[in-house]
A and B are shown apart, each in its own frame.
Chain A
Amino acid sequence: MNKDTAGIVPATQQPGILKTLLLCLPMMIITVIMLSNGMLPTEPARLTAFILTFVFINVIFFLMIRTGETDRWRSILFVTYAVCFVVSFIANLIEVRGSMALSPADIIEGLAPCCHIVIPMTLIPAALTKTIIFPGTIIGTKYAIVSMFVLWTGATIALGRGFCSWVCFFGGLDEGFSRLFKKARIKDVNPKWNYLPYTVLLLIVLASAVTLAPFYCQWLCPFKTVTEYPEITSVKTVIQAIIFISLFIALVMVLPALTKRRIQCSLFCPMGAFQSLTNKINVFNVRVDPEKCIKCKKCIQTCPTFSINEETIAKGKTAITCMKCGKCIDACKQNAIFYHISGTPLTGGRVEIYRRLFIYPAFIFLATMSGGFVQDAIVKTIKLIITGSMF
């Protein structure tokens, strides 16, 4: 490692304004096309939302390139994305269905929007029955099952578990709450809880296959609290609602705020566990240079997902749970932690090239996914201010 890492250029040696703008130009073009769907909006509210979103996203990317810091700027867009997703999603549900509640009639009509967490539960039944065990549409809508599968496949090949910090529309809520306080109130978390997501994954995959129903959506999803929930019609649905709300308050709000970690994402989410397993096919990873490391443990303290510890540092790696958010890289004053591309050398001052090669695809996902929701949330807010109604 010592020989390999000799000559790493500190990530702080960043390009000038002109070079930064040139590096940002491709992203500007991509975001214009993605945000406008190839045609600029003419309605004033939509045009305003488009311009604001375009500027916001590209300023974030500009700062990422210019300052060499990743997580600092990513987190701003990621949290905004999650908040705007919730606003946009709930507003759309109320507009289309009149309520956040999912009625039995909605279920048999296939009106439930699908999210990526459904994917692991559907694989065994899909292989054996050629059907998807989810009450949604297969194709043709924004939240159609197969569209979500395509999105997940692309993001997994491109980013691996980076999905959780750059693509997931729920992760920003957890992250937002984890950044509420300056200091962590709870510092020690037993490492055995790192295995809980794998347990939840194992259980939901088996239970969903046996019952032919998406078990996690029915019983365990904390995000039902801020998206849609089953219509309260029985004791069972009351208990389900209590579970959803309790898990949301505990795992997404309180524990992240107290620990300054993404507790739901790292200690509960089965999709995260699934991404850790599928991450094997991805080329991007985060590496540590033990020779440069001065054992300040700053990275261990800041990692939001418990993915870096003394053992992994000694191996020069992060754990498989690493979401590639870049927080440890930003925090390391010794530049001992860096993004890396499998197979490439650790020498020759290419660290910033590796980082850029990672953040381009990662940011394309984040910008495109967040762009639609941010625009929609702005439009709804403008309408609310002007007309008193979001619709």
Chain B
Amino acid sequence: MKKLKSFLGYIWAVAAIIIALATFFGQSYFSRALVATTGITVNPRYSGGEIIKTVDHGNYKTAMHRPVFDALIGQTKEGFIQINWAPAAGLPQVISEGFDYNSDGKEDFIVTLNTATGKATLASSNPAVLDIEKSYHLKNGWAVRVLLKQP
């Protein structure tokens, strides 16, 4: 038993060298495999969530993300929806665009964004749409987060 334990100890110690090498040489492979296996993504509170609708305006595109109410378990009462406009070079000085975030066929809110100053205003026609949380000057465009509450 002592000899077996000793043998296993040495095996494990030598394996540590192989693990060290594999960690660096296989980092890219292991990372991809882990992502593929677990399907892990960045939390939508940071990424804004999946894009559910894209509108092409010719010089620029609008991307509407899904409403984010994600909590650790279940959903929060208040959340947000993120709208992106890109590329920066094609954006007009003032963007004014309406959105139907719950796909009920009615426009829920209009966001007006001044791309020179970053000032964003909201005209809401749905009581679940609360306010502009913030506008963000991205590397290649702009984004706005609109605060929502659960309907």
Contact = CB atoms under 8 A, between A and B. Distances in A.
Direct chain A–B contact by Cβ atoms under 8 Å: yes
Interface stretch (A171-179, A254-262, A313-321, A353-361): A353-361
A159 B23 CA distance: 12
A136 B12 contact: no
B134 to A, nearest CB: 6
Contact of B71 (A138, A212, A368): A212
Contact of B41 (A131, A157, A360, A364): A131
Contact of A134 (B6, B14, B42): B42
Interface string A148-164: 01110111011100000
Contacts of A104: 134, 136
A12 interface: no
Given A131-B41, A146-B40, A344 B9 contact: yes
A212 B5 CA distance: 43
Interface in B117-151: 134, 136-139, 143, 145
Nearest to B140: A109
A184 B11 CA distance: 41
B10 A344 contact: yes
A30 B21 contact: yes
B51 to A, nearest CB: 13
A91 to B, nearest CB: 19
B34 A150 contact: yes
Contact of B23 (A129, A131, A155, A357): A155
Contacts of A342: 9, 12
A210 B72 contact: yes
B27 A147 contact: yes
A361 B71 contact: no
Given A108-B136, A151-B23, A283-B9, A129 B16 contact: no
B6 A343 contact: yes
Interface string A8-35: 0000000000000000000000100010
A341 B134 contact: no
Interface residues of A, number: 56
B113 to A, nearest CB: 14
Contacts of A284: 13, 16
Given A34-B24, A345-B2, A364-B21, A149 B12 contact: no
Interface of A: 30, 34, 104-105, 107-110, 124-126, 128-139, 144-147, 149-151, 153-155, 157-159, 209-210, 212-213, 283-284, 341-345, 354, 357-358, 360-362, 364-365, 368
Interface of B: 2, 5-6, 8-10, 12-14, 16-17, 19-24, 27-28, 30-32, 34-35, 38-48, 70-73, 82, 134, 136-139, 143, 145
Given A343-B6, A358-B16, A361-B20, 10 more contacts: A107-B46, A108-B46, A125-B43, A132-B42, A133-B46, A146-B31, A146-B35, A147-B28, A150-B34, A212-B72
